[in-house]
């Protein structure tokens, strides 16, 4: 029960939105993995706010690796990566310190930590803390790619607007990984962006669904009980702030299907066993079957909105009205994309390290 | 990475569909908990096949507790519970041994275990193995009830048919926990049952969605990163066979909502902070906020169907046609209900033991 | 914090001295390992009481494997092994139920479990519970031997009597593994046995030191911090009842040595790097260096003695005198040997599975 | 299997001897604990080299806490503490890069990490990495003291010289915690110091034995199997560099004792059950019995010596002679003392948090 994740490869997160530094320690990395700072910076760029659908708080996000790397490669010892928090406006929050923000962790943090939590900007609960996750994810994304494993996610749905499906997985993954606003169809991308701007203009925010595919995963990874691939991935994905649902393959669509529609028939193709369809998202009985992994993650609308909201003043214990100022994101689903990809990489690298040994990657 | 779950309270599962015995070990139980064999049997009854929408394989499911209980109460030492497998017809499977069943774990088990898995009746992957889970869950459900924490689930949806929502949580939970076929609205129950029978008649099977609510959970339980309440619950729920999606509160519905609709306003009620709505399902920032937990779990259609299916003969490595015989469930969503409730109890008891100490319950 | 041990290979223990059955679940075993019941029985024989230096309680100790084995080989799924408790004389204990036995866990069990523990025969704390440990250890000892890794232990010291050191490790390991009373020098064996009988005649008991060597371990196993090989082995060994000290290589002898005496010089031998001496017991910096592992474990005198002892009656909370009846061991160091070997095998197999993957063995 | 330790309270270590920063993350701390930087600095002072029996490398060791503390108190979120490495002379090592140092981790690091480890100054294996351990230990030592739990250690033995035993535990603990050179008897302290200087003059080094006592621990903490108090403490202590042996109570002395001498008789004292003697070091059956914990840890002689040593050049794979330059400690047993105390505090705080809940401290 802790802020640590993984079995053979383990990630420890620390930091607060308005503290001096945030960071992560990743342990169990195979020695000799290339640490490409430019690729880390590129992945961090995908997480950064861009344009009017994001917060005005822009951090430089320059990664400082203080351990576990020697002469450009992982040593095998724990890798600690740090980021400075520079662009902080703490006074934004002081006014509303006692007004717990609806949809946020203010109240639960207060209850869990008996009033000792750092409340500024959401403290340890802030989406800011995903920055080091993206950085360590980048190292593993690169390592997995060298093994032929590629991860890609797009905004499959936002409001009533839906993107097209992944068609050619390999080229679509490459395409989407270059996009700051990860939508496969360009016209849809524009519509979605326009919709987000409109809602932002109302002082409100939107949610959305991310769809992720992974190609190249070996068969036979995962456990039948408790540590199924779905269990481990969901565990990781549900710890991304604002994620409230995860489904694999046809997911909630299975409720309307029959067994004859849901089962994926097997066939021989090029001497290998494959499935004709992939309703089960590449996982049978909790174990990878060699087909692409396919899952969807729903991101709730950003709780920080400019509209007036009813709440409670925890000092006076009276009902109150809150109008949040500060700088906020009317949409985070596009920024959450690279966090989802990073968590996915962390999970898959760990599953592979458990199965094939700590040197596998 | 293992067939073990939990932090302070830990469950280890073992057994195969056609082995002599199956069971579970639960460690970390507080000493002095009442072990009510009649309540365990009652819970097991909810898992058992009943009528024509279930398999003809009916086991007596008599629990044998061989450790951890003394004079009717838990001792605090690991509790091992065993069940005999008596009603086995292994010959049913031998014919089709090399024909991997679509939607099942046959192929992935073969790949993971290099051909050494016990393939009979799904082996360790069988839904049969949920029997001891229900038994240990029963002990914890009872213990949680003594602390005022109640869990209830109904079939919210099957095909196009939807049950009514929970209204009065307390009485609806009590009601549904008495029902073998857990549907709140009696007319809907009949329709669903009729629909299942129809599909069964076609030699096919159905899926469905279970909705679960929990009342009485204290505030402040869970962790901000990795071990959020959603993460831990999803981890557990995704290890229930056939579960392919989990959502909390409004879940995938959040994609269509705005922040002003998704946020749950706070107010003072009877001197306590509560939320006016519960879109977030009782969890903010991964931590319980004192409101009822609310989540939905989708169960895919049972993969064992009587219709002919395309597959591969793994011995000859040729395409083949499979017609499954044996005894199977055209629907398992109603039987999965008590498994979901049991996993929920295991998770919540563990979360509480971590927070309040091993003697808490 | 639990009755579970291991990372990739995990052992869960359950059962009480006077319960119906005791057992273990071992998870994470590679599929396809041979399960040789005769070898398991042979190892169990080494744990059984023999002659007058042991208790009169002799169990048949017939292993019942109820899961995880199919057609004589491990399947990769959790393996559960059960033993019946048949030779129970519970009335022996009832008289002295409230008189906590010095040196035993009676008082601490009472405090930890608030009076709910099964007190009969030590309950879950009984040395009886090592039976399933020896059985699962036997499976791993066999598997390690197939990889060229051999474990052997002898009674290095009992009272003032000391056995000779291991000389030719390979043949001495083979020799000692065939001995019920594991002493390398036959004359010393007789002396030790005679000494034990003498102390038994006084109604008293003896302790002793076991020395273990392991040959064939690959280099590079273990972690620099927290999970050093010494840490993991000591963790396991200190959970063997009555073990109160563990030392590696020259151990406590290092206090009297200088660096120039303690360091093991390296040299090339047959193209490989080896050390000229082995003061560090095959471990540098917590990691195996390819030399034989060498460690010593001290077993305290069996606390059950026939002499009168001062104690407390926990019901009346008055000082009292206790004279233990029942059947007890005047010495357990020789029986503890196979438990130490089994724990060692469990640890080493797990370390190797973590490093080289779950299929390694 | 990782560089992480603990259950409810978890410590992650990172850094290398010659990297820019080293540090630790401690997760699971109760919120509201006082973080007294002066006390942390005082504890760090006990670890620092002083005088001629220690290395000339003196770091400022100023702690930088970058998360988990707000307004002087722990928040409950992970606390990350960083230290700069400033006083680095990396050129000292470059000459002898290919000459693996006897008694060090050079060779095993090379084998484990396939040549990618940071070899400078021992890299991640360096005793330097204990600095953040001492800092996080200081926070817990303070917290435990507020609960009446006090830890103290002295050099019980170095070469042939032995310190007196702890007599009045409370005052002796207080006394020793103020001493840079932790020896209870002042004359003995001088003798030991003199002995160390003599050996240092020969270009050699010494080992020693630390004896630790803990008063105030509640009864009933620990587990019967695997996670006994001895197991967890030994696990932690054996990960302190140079520790090669750990014994509890009379430890290896038990080999010469009889049961009647080894058992600690119970009696009532001031209405409480206590033992008349404490041969078992405060632990029965792996569980605390309320008496003082008592254990001894042996620290081997520092492997860095100035005398010429035989070794291997791993590049040329030829035998070679090594003469180490650089700055080294002829003795570390006195500096190891506060590391042992810190690890003890970490273990005990975790055990208590598991038993009494995460808010207990």
DSSP line for D132-161? HHHHHHHHHHHHHHHTT-EEEEEEEEETTE
CB burial of residue B262 (10 Å; 0-12, 13-18, 19+) = buried
Which positions ≥6 away from D48 have C-beta within 8 Å? D54, D58, D59, D61, D335
Q: Which pLDDT tens digit goes with each residue over D92-111?
A: 566 678 999 999 999 999 99
Q: Give SS3 for A164.
A: coil
C130: contact with A, CB 8 A cutoff: no
Q: Give SS3 for B280.
A: coil
Interface test with B, best of D354, D359, D361 (most B CBs within 10 A): D354
Using pLDDT thresholds of 50, 70 and 90, give the confidence band for residue B220: very high
- pLDDT for C90 equals 58
- pLDDT for D53 equals 79
State how far residue B158 is from chain C, nearest Cα, in angstroms.
33
What would the mean pLDDT of B328-345 be, rounded to a whole number? 95
Beta bridge partners of C25: C12, C80
Report pTM. Answer: 0.97
Contact C245 D248 (CB under 8 A): yes
- pLDDT for C272 equals 96
Closest CA to B197 of B186, B209, B206, B210: B206
* Helix, strand and coil in chain A, % to nearest 5: 35, 25, 45
Q: Cα(D219)–Cα(D231) distance, rounded to whole angstroms?
A: 17
Cα A71 to Cα A35, A36, C223, D126, distances in angstroms = 9, 11, 22, 19
| Tokens linked to C286 | 């917590």
Q: Are B265 and A103 in contact (CB under 8 A)?
A: no
Contact C116 B32 (CB under 8 A): yes
| Closest CB from A7, A224, A357 relative to C357 | A357
Helix (H) or strand (E) holding D198: helix D186-201
B19: contact with C, CB 8 A cutoff: yes
Exposure string (b/e) for B78-105, b if CB count within 10 Å is 16 or more?
Answer: bbbbbbebeebeeebbeebebbbbbbbb
Contact B354 D356 (CB under 8 A): no
Contact B159 A251 (CB under 8 A): no
Q: Cα(B253)–Cα(B281) distance, rounded to whole angstroms?
A: 12
Q: Cα(D79)–Cα(D65) distance, rounded to whole angstroms?
A: 7
User: φ, ψ for residue A215 (rounded to 5)?
Assistant: -115, 150
Across the A:B interface, residue pairs with CB atoms under 8 Å apart total 383
Cα C49 to Cα C127, C207, C238, D129, distances in angstroms = 12, 16, 22, 48
Q: Are A84 and A20 in contact (CB under 8 A)?
A: yes
Domains of chain C in sequence order: 4-355 (3.60.150.10)
The pairing of beta strand B64-67 with beta strand B4-5:
unpaired
List, run by run, the mean pLDDT of 10-residue segments along chain C (361 residues).
84 96 97 97 94 78 97 97 83 76 96 94 94 98 98 98 97 98 98 96 96 98 96 98 98 98 97 97 98 98 95 96 84 97 98 93 79
DSSP string, A264-288: --EEEETTEEEES--TTTTEETTEE
C41: contact with D, CB 8 A cutoff: no
| Closest CB from A1, A124, A358 relative to D77 | A124
What would the mean pLDDT of B319-335 be, rounded to a whole number? 89
DSSP string, D276-324: SS-TTTTEETTEE-SSPEEEEEEEPPPS--SS-EEEEETTTTEEEEE--
- State the number of CA atoms in the 13 A half-sphere of B109 facing the CB: 27
DSSP B86: -
- Which positions in chain C touch A359 (Cβ < 8 Å)? 355
Mean pLDDT over all residues of chain B?
94
- State the number of CA atoms in the 13 A half-sphere of B229 facing the CB: 35
Using pLDDT thresholds of 50, 70 and 90, give the confidence band for residue A89: low
Exposure string (b/e) for C176-207, b if CB count within 10 Å is 16 or more?
Answer: bbebebbbbeeebbebbbebbeebbeebbbbb
Q: Cα(D85)–Cα(D66) distance, rounded to whole angstroms?
A: 17
What would the mean pLDDT of B149-176 be, rounded to a whole number? 98
State how far residue C350 is from chain D, nearest Cα, in angstroms.
9
Given a cut of 90, whether residue A91 has pLDDT beyond it is no
Q: Which pLDDT tens digit goes with each residue over D50-60?
A: 888 777 777 78
A116: contact with B, CB 8 A cutoff: no
- pLDDT for D93 equals 63
- pLDDT for C93 equals 63
DSSP A171: H
A3: contact with C, CB 8 A cutoff: no
Contact A79 D14 (CB under 8 A): yes
Q: Which pLDDT tens digit goes with each residue over A111-166?
A: 999 999 999 989 999 999 999 999 999 999 999 999 999 999 999 999 999 999 99
Contact C358 A360 (CB under 8 A): no
Q: Are C259 and D247 in contact (CB under 8 A)?
A: no
Taking CA atoms, what residue in B is nearest to C21? Answer: B66
Torsion from C-alpha of D191, D197, D198, D204, nearest 10 degrees: 130
Given a cut of 70, whether residue B160 has pLDDT beyond it is yes
Q: Which pLDDT tens digit goes with each residue over A306-326?
A: 999 999 999 999 999 999 877
Q: What is the CA radius of gyration of chain A?
A: 21
What would the mean pLDDT of B310-316 be, rounded to a whole number? 96
What percent of chain A has pLDDT above 90?
89
Interface test with B, best of C70, C97, C110, C112 (most B CBs within 10 A): C70
Q: Cα(D26)–Cα(D346) distance, rounded to whole angstroms?
A: 10
Q: Which pLDDT tens digit goes with each residue over B19-75?
A: 999 999 999 999 999 999 999 999 999 999 888 877 777 778 999 999 999 999 999
- pLDDT for D60 equals 86
DSSP E strand stretches across B230-345: 243-248, 266-269, 272-275, 283-284, 287-288, 293-299, 309-313, 318-322
Q: Are A337 and A182 in contact (CB under 8 A)?
A: yes
- Which positions in chain B touch D25 (Cβ < 8 Å)? none
User: φ, ψ for residue B328 (rounded to 5)?
Assistant: -140, 170
- pLDDT for D341 equals 98
Q: Are A208 and B255 in contact (CB under 8 A)?
A: yes
- pLDDT for A326 equals 72
Helix (H) or strand (E) holding C234: helix C229-237
- pLDDT for B89 equals 66
State how far residue A15 is from chain D, nearest Cα, in angstroms.
5
Q: Which pLDDT tens digit goes with each residue over D75-87?
A: 999 999 999 998 7
Cα C17 to Cα B176, C45, C109, C238, D106, distances in angstroms = 41, 18, 14, 20, 47
Q: Are A29 and A74 in contact (CB under 8 A)?
A: yes
CB burial of residue B179 (10 Å; 0-12, 13-18, 19+) = middle
Across the A:D interface, residue pairs with CB atoms under 8 Å apart total 171
- pLDDT for B296 equals 98
Taking CA atoms, what residue in C is nearest to D161? Answer: C256
Given a cut of 70, whether residue A94 has pLDDT beyond it is no
- Which positions in chain D touch B360 (Cβ < 8 Å)? 357
Contact C19 B124 (CB under 8 A): no
Q: Cα A230–A231–A232 angle (5° rounding)? A: 95
| Closest CB from B224, B354, B359 relative to D358 | B354
| Closest CB from A77, A224, A355 relative to C357 | A355
* Helix, strand and coil in chain D, % to nearest 5: 35, 25, 45
DSSP string, A322-341: E---S---SB-HHHHHHHHH
ipTM of this predicted structure: 0.97
| Closest CB from C7, C304, C309 relative to D265 | C309
Contact D118 A75 (CB under 8 A): yes
Interface test with B, best of A9, A25, A210, A260 (most B CBs within 10 A): A260
Taking CA atoms, what residue in B is nearest to C117? Answer: B75
Q: Give SS3 for C46.
A: helix
Q: Give SS3 for A64.
A: strand
Residue with tokens 């995704």: B238
Given a cut of 80, whether residue B92 has pLDDT beyond it is no
- How many other CB atoms are there within 10 angstroms of residue B218's CB atom? 15
Using pLDDT thresholds of 50, 70 and 90, give the confidence band for residue A361: confident
- Report the sign of the C-alpha dihedral through residues B156, B162, B165, B166, in that order: negative
- pLDDT for B91 equals 63
pLDDT tens over chain D, length 361 residues: 477 899 999 999 999 999 999 999 999 999 999 999 999 999 999 999 888 877 777 778 999 999 999 999 999 999 999 999 987 665 656 667 899 999 999 999 999 999 999 999 899 999 999 999 999 999 999 999 999 999 999 999 999 999 999 999 999 999 999 999 999 999 999 999 999 999 999 999 999 999 999 999 999 999 999 999 999 999 999 999 999 999 999 999 999 999 999 999 999 999 999 999 999 999 999 999 999 999 999 999 999 999 999 999 999 999 999 998 776 789 999 999 999 999 999 999 999 999 999 888 7
- Which positions in chain D touch C202 (Cβ < 8 Å)? 258
Q: Which pLDDT tens digit goes with each residue over D167-193?
A: 999 999 999 999 999 999 999 999 999
DSSP C166: P
Sheet (strand A79-84) strand order: A4-5, A10-14, A21-27, A79-84, A64-67
B187: contact with A, CB 8 A cutoff: no
Which positions ≥6 away from A39 have C-beta within 8 Å? A138, A141, A142
What percent of chain B has pLDDT above 70?
97
- pLDDT for D8 equals 93
CB burial of residue B274 (10 Å; 0-12, 13-18, 19+) = middle
Q: Cα(D106)–Cα(D124) distance, rounded to whole angstroms?
A: 11
- pLDDT for C312 equals 97
Closest CA to C250 of C215, C286, C283: C283
State how far residue D356 is from chain B, nearest Cα, in angstroms.
4
Contact B75 C16 (CB under 8 A): yes
Cα D107 to Cα A70, C297, D123, distances in angstroms = 17, 27, 12
- Which positions in chain B touch C117 (Cβ < 8 Å)? 31, 70, 75-77
Interface test with C, best of A6, A349, A354 (most C CBs within 10 A): A354
Q: Give SS3 for D14.
A: strand
- pLDDT for D326 equals 72
């Amino acid at each position: 029960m802790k802020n640590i994740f993984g079995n053979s490869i383990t990630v420890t997160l620390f930091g607060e939105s308005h503290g001096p530094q945030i960071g992560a320690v990743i342990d169990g990395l195979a020695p000799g993995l290339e640490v490409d700072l430019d690729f880390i910076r590129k992945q961090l760029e995908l997480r950064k706010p861009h344009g009017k659908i994001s917060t005005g708080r822009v951090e430089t996000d320059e990664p400082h690796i203080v351990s576990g790397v020697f002469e450009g490669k992982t040593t095998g010892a724990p890798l600690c990566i740090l980021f400075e928090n520079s662009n902080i406006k703490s006074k934004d929050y002081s006014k509303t310190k006692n007004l717990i923000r609806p949809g946020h962790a203010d109240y639960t943090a207060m209850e869990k930590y008996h009033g000792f939590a750092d409340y500024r900007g959401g403290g340890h609960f802030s989406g800011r803390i995903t920055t080091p996750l993206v950085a360590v994810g980048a190292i593993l994304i690169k390592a997995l790619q060298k093994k032929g494993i590629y991860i890609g996610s797009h905004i499959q749905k936002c409001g009533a607007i839906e993107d097209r499906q992944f068609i050619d997985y390999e080229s679509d993954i490459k395409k989407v990984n270059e996009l700051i606003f990860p939508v496969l169809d360009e016209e849809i991308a524009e519509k979605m962006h326009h919709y987000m701007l409109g809602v932002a203009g109302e002082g409100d925010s939107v949610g959305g669904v991310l769809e992720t595919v992974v190609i190249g995963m070996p068969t036979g990874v995962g456990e039948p009980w408790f540590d199924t691939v779905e269990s481990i991935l969901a565990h990781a994905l549900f710890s991304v702030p604002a994620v409230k649902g995860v489904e694999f393959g046809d997911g909630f669509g299975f409720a309307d299907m029959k067994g004859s529609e849901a089962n994926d028939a097997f066939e021989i193709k090029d001497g290998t066993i494959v499935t004709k369809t992939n309703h089960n998202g590449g996982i049978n009985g909790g174990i990878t079957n060699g087909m692409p992994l396919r899952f969807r993650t729903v991101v709730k609308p950003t709780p920080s909105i400019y509209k007036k909201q009813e709440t409670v003043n925890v000092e006076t214990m009276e009902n109150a009205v809150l109008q949040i100022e500060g700088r906020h994101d009317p949409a985070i689903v596009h920024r959450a994309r690279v966090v989802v990809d990073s968590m996915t990489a962390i999970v898959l690298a760990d599953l592979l390290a458990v199965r094939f040994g700590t040197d596998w990657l």
